[in-house]
Structure 1
C-alpha cells in the first residue's frame, strides 16, 4: 500500500505546485501589464499599441461579436446605443430621409448631412454637400470641374459655408437642393444660382437638374465596418470611463454608396456640360458634429474602369480614435470586401498641413492585396465650422489600382489652428 500511495501523493502535490507557480506567474504578468507605460503617440497624436493591447483586443472583439448578434435579432430600433455593430434605424427608408434634429438645448451641435461626389476619365468632377444644423443653418458646398473651364465654385463659399436653409425639412440652401427619390436607389440634385470660375474670377449663372443612381449597395459604418480595424482603433487608446463616454458622445451614423450622376449643366456664356460622373454619396446624422474633435483625415474614393468602387481612409479624432482605418471594396457584381489593413499612415503623408499631390498606398481587403496610386489633377480648399474650425481639401484625382485605371475624389481634412488632443486617464 505504501509503495502505491506515495507516488500518487507526490504526483498530486507536484501538480498543485505547478498550478500555483503558473497562477503566480500569470498574476505577476498581469500586474506588469497594468503598470507598463503607454508608448508615446506618433507625431504626438497617433496612439500606438501598448503592452495591454492584445488583452484589450480579444475582449473588444468579443464585444463587437455580441453586438453584431444583437443587431441580427433586432426587428426595430429607436437609434439609441447605435454603432459598433448595431444599426441606427429599422429600415433603409428610415435611414435615407431627412432626419429630425434633437432639441437645440440638449444637442446644439447636432447634424444631418448629405454629400455627393463624382468624376470620370475625361476630367469632369462634381462635389456638393449640405449639412443641416440647428437654427436652420445649412453648411453648403458646391464644386464643378470641367477640363476647359477648370474649377467652378458656388459664390456663397467665398464668405462662408454657413447658409440659411430655404426649407427646414430639406437639404436645401443657396439655390442647391438634394432630394431622395427612392431609398438607397435615386436622388435628385438641383441648383440655380451663381458660381465663379476660380481660374479667371468670372461669375456665371449655373443651373442643373441631375439624377444620382446607385450602382452598389450601401455601406453602413454602424454595422459593416471590419471588426479588425474597429477593435484595433479602440484598443490603441487609453481606456477610462470618460473615454467610453466620449465614444458614445461623438458617435454619428454614417453610410456610403457609390452611384452615377447624370444630366446637363447649363453655364451662362459657355457650352452646356453633359455630365456623366461616378462616385460616392454619404449620409451622416447624430447628436454632435464638432469639427474641432478632428485632428485630420484623408479619405480616398475611386471608381475603376470595370465599376469596382473603392473607399480607403484613415481618420484621427485624438480624444476618441486617434487612428481609425476605414474602407471597403465593392466589386462589379455587388460583392463587398472590407479593408483590414493599410500601409497608409497619416503621420507619413501631409502631417505638415500640405497634402501630397501624389502618393502610393497598399491595403488588403477580402484576403487580397491592393496597390493604389493617387495623382491629383486639380484641387479646391474651403473652411467649415462655426469659427472656420476645419480646413478641407477636395482633390480631383486619377487613380491606378492593381494596374487598372480609375478616377474620383481624395478628401483631406485638417484641424484649422491649434493641434488638439487629450491623453486621458490611464486604467
Structure 2
C-alpha cells in the first residue's frame, strides 16, 4: 500500500512538474520547459506541412507560418484594403544610409477614417537632423491623400528620391527559417488561448533591400543622396501596439555588399524571443537560423546601449555584428502613445566589414499622449472608436 501511495505521489509530482513552465526572466521572457524539444519538432513539422500543402488562390485568412497572404508580388505591392477594426493597418517603411553619414527614414501607416501614423527623419552631415515639426508625435489626419495638419517643416525642404532594387522579396509569412520559428514558439506555454492569440495578432509583412538615390533641397541648397536602403510593407486585420513589450532590429549594409535585417522581437502574447531576420547578397536572400541577442541584458530599463555586439547565423555561417550609435531620435505611435520607438542611426562592423544603417529599438510606453499634442486633433476624432 505504501508503494502505491508513493507511486501515485511521484506520478502526480512528475505531471505537475512537466506541465508547469519555468519562471520567466524578469517576469517577461519565457524559457524552455520540459516538453520544449517535442514542441519544437511539432511546430517545425506544422510549418513545413503548411508550406507544402498551400495552394495558390487562397483568401489569405490563414496566412503566416508557411502560408502566403498574397500569391503574387503584384497583389502584395498594391494598397491593401483596411479591415473594419479601428486599428486596421496598411503600412510602408523606408530607410536609407551611407558611409558618409547620411540617413533617411520615412514611414506611413494608414488607419481607418484617414488617420495616418507618419515619420520622417533626414540626417545630413554638417547640417544635422531634420524631422517633422510635430514629432515625437506621429498622429496625422487626412482625407484620401490630403494631410490636414501643421506644416511639414519650418525650413523649406524638398525631397526627390527614387527607390530601386534587384534583390528578392523576403516574405515573413513563408521565408523565415522554420527551425528558428519553431524554437521561438516552443519556448512559450501552449494552450488554446495562446494559439488563438497567435492567429489574432498576425500581420503579413515583407521586406526588400535596395538603393535610394536622389536629392534633398534645404532652403535652396541641394544635397545628393545615394543610400543603401531597406523597405517593408505590413498589413493585417489590426496592429495592436499594446501587445508589444519591446524589440531590437538591425537594418544594415556593409562595404562588401552584404545587406540584412536581424533582431529579436518580444511580444508576450505570442512570442517573447522571436529570432528573426535575413541577409541579402548577390541577388539571394538567406534567412537567419539563430540570433544571439538576449534583450533582457540590453536596455531593458528603456535605455538601449549605444555600443554593443551580438551574433547570428545565416546559411550555416556565423556573423558577429558590432553596433555604434551616431544619433537616436525617438517617436511615439498611437492615440495613447502606446509605443515608443528609438530610431538609432548607426555604423556597423559585420565580421570585420564596415557598415551603416539603422538599429530600431521599440518599447511599450505607458505614459499616455500629452494634451499638448492631443488638443490639436480634429474635432471629429472625438467620436472615433479607437480601441
TM-score (norm 2): 0.88
Do 1:392 and 1:412's aligned partners in 2 also have CA atoms closer than 8 Å? yes
The residue number in structure 1 matching 2:241 is 291
Do 1:212 and 1:259's aligned partners in 2 also have CA atoms closer than 8 Å? yes
1:260-309 per-position Cα deviation (integer Å, ceiling 9, x unaligned) = 1111111116x211111112100000011011110000000001112211
Distance 2:292 2:214 in 1: 38
1:369-390 per-position Cα deviation (integer Å, ceiling 9, x unaligned) = 1110010111110111110101
Matching of residue 362 in structure 1 with residue 327 in structure 2: no
The residue number in structure 1 matching 2:379 is none
Aligned length in residues = 359
Do 1:194 and 1:205's aligned partners in 2 also have CA atoms closer than 8 Å? no
Distance 2:168 2:16 in 1: 43
> What is the root-mean-square deviation in Å for CA atoms of aligned residues?
2.1
Distance 2:170 2:288 in 1: 12
- In structure 1, stretches of 5+ residues that fail to align are 1-23, 176-191, 196-202, 419-427
- Report the secondary structure of 1:164's partner residue: strand
The residue number in structure 2 matching 1:165 is 142
- In structure 2, stretches of 5+ residues that fail to align are 1-6, 368-387
Q: In structure 1, which of residues 297, 322, 327 is the aligned counterpart of residue 277 of structure 2?
A: 327
Matching of residue 303 in structure 1 with residue 253 in structure 2: yes
Kindly name which structure, 1 or 2, has the bigger radius of gyration based on alpha carbons.
1
Q: In structure 2, which of residues 111, 125, 149 is the aligned counterpart of residue 147 of structure 1?
A: 125
- Report the secondary structure of 1:322's partner residue: strand
The residue number in structure 2 matching 1:136 is 114
Distance 1:216 1:193 in 2: 36
Matching of residue 70 in structure 1 with residue 48 in structure 2: no
The residue number in structure 2 matching 1:17 is none
The equivalences for 1:175-194 within 5 A come to 194=152
Q: In structure 2, which of residues 88, 94, 102 is the aligned counterpart of residue 110 of structure 1?
A: 88
Using the TM superposition, give the Cα deviation of residue 166 of structure 1 relative to its aligned residue in structure 2, in angstroms. 4.5
Select between 302-311 and 363-372 the one with higher mean Cα deviation. 302-311
Distance 2:303 2:340 in 1: 11
Q: In structure 1, which of residues 14, 17, 42 is the aligned counterpart of residue 25 of structure 2?
A: 42
Q: In structure 2, which of residues 359, 368, 376 is the aligned counterpart of residue 410 of structure 1?
A: 359
- Report the secondary structure of 2:57's partner residue: coil
Distance 1:90 1:326 in 2: 22
- Report the secondary structure of 1:155's partner residue: coil
Do 1:216 and 1:258's aligned partners in 2 also have CA atoms closer than 8 Å? yes
Matching of residue 260 in structure 1 with residue 211 in structure 2: yes
Matching of residue 213 in structure 1 with residue 164 in structure 2: yes
Do 1:78 and 1:90's aligned partners in 2 also have CA atoms closer than 8 Å? no
Using the TM superposition, give the Cα deviation of residue 162 of structure 1 relative to its aligned residue in structure 2, in angstroms. 1.1
Do 1:296 and 1:414's aligned partners in 2 also have CA atoms closer than 8 Å? yes
The equivalences for 1:390-405 within 5 A come to 390-405=339-354
Using the TM superposition, give the Cα deviation of residue 174 of structure 1 relative to its aligned residue in structure 2, in angstroms. 6.7
Distance 2:28 2:332 in 1: 22
Distance 2:152 2:322 in 1: 35
The residue number in structure 2 matching 1:184 is none
The residue number in structure 2 matching 1:187 is none
Using the TM superposition, give the Cα deviation of residue 32 of structure 1 relative to its aligned residue in structure 2, in angstroms. 3.8
